[in-house]
Amino acid sequence: MNLLKLFKKKERVKFDRKILRKNDISLLIVDERWNSLFTAEEKTAEIISHEEKLRHLLKEQARVGTEQKEIAGTKKTCMDRIMQLTETAYEDNNTEALGEMQHCQDEINRINERTTTIQQELEEITDKIQDANLALLEATVNAVYWKMQSRRQKIEELVQETDLLKKKLRQCSSEKQELDERVTHVYSYFHDLLGREELERLDREYMI
């Protein structure tokens, strides 16, 4: 049976996410080897779709990560400000300082809540990135790997055809050598028997 037909009958390849951790498979879209696959191959619509989704998730991860750093900085500023205002607020009973301290504390509480939410969001995004990377791997395998298998089949066919041509070449070469020897033998005989001039006349009559 045709190998290509066998490949076409196979179900789409699926991978368990564990394989990503087991083989330490990095993000495909930043992998030079993965990108090099498509210097000669055209990306399918499915590959492009998964690639775009993965890029979107990475941008979202970067955005949330940036917010996490920013609010951590804001929290530190608020904590420092509270430390600065403590003496004035309590020893001098400064209501304005107390108010600012309360504002800073409210901001810290808000940041703490947001930090918890951000951590959850980042965990979810990380899971989605792994899933999207896995989906991209599956799409790549199904689009590129099976195409490679069809090419292997073509290579096998070309090898067989080349072997046949080599065999035919050997046969032709052997037949040529045999004919050359016969012609040389006959030519030599008539040359010795009739002479060069008569042989040339025969060549003109029979060969031209």
What is the residue extent of each domain of the chain?
11-153
Q: 120: which 2 tokens?
A: 């959850």
Distances from the Cα of 205 to the Cα of 128, 194, 198, 208, angstroms: 88, 15, 11, 6
Q: What does the alpha-carbon distance between residue 177 and residue 40 come to, in Å, rounded to a whole number?
A: 46
Which one, of 60, 49, 65, lies nearest residue 143 by Cα?
A: 49
Q: What does the alpha-carbon distance between residue 67 and residue 69 come to, in Å, rounded to a whole number?
A: 5
Q: Evaluate the CA torsion angle 160, 166, 170, 171 in order and state its sign.
A: positive
The pLDDT of residue 208 is above 60: no
Per-residue pLDDT tens over the stretch 130-167:
889 989 988 998 888 777 777 888 888 899 999 999 99
Per-residue pLDDT tens over the stretch 11-24:
666 777 676 667 76
Task: Please state which CATH class domain 11-153 belongs to.
Answer: mainly alpha
Give me the DSSP letters along 132-147. Answer: HHHHHHHHHIIIIIHH
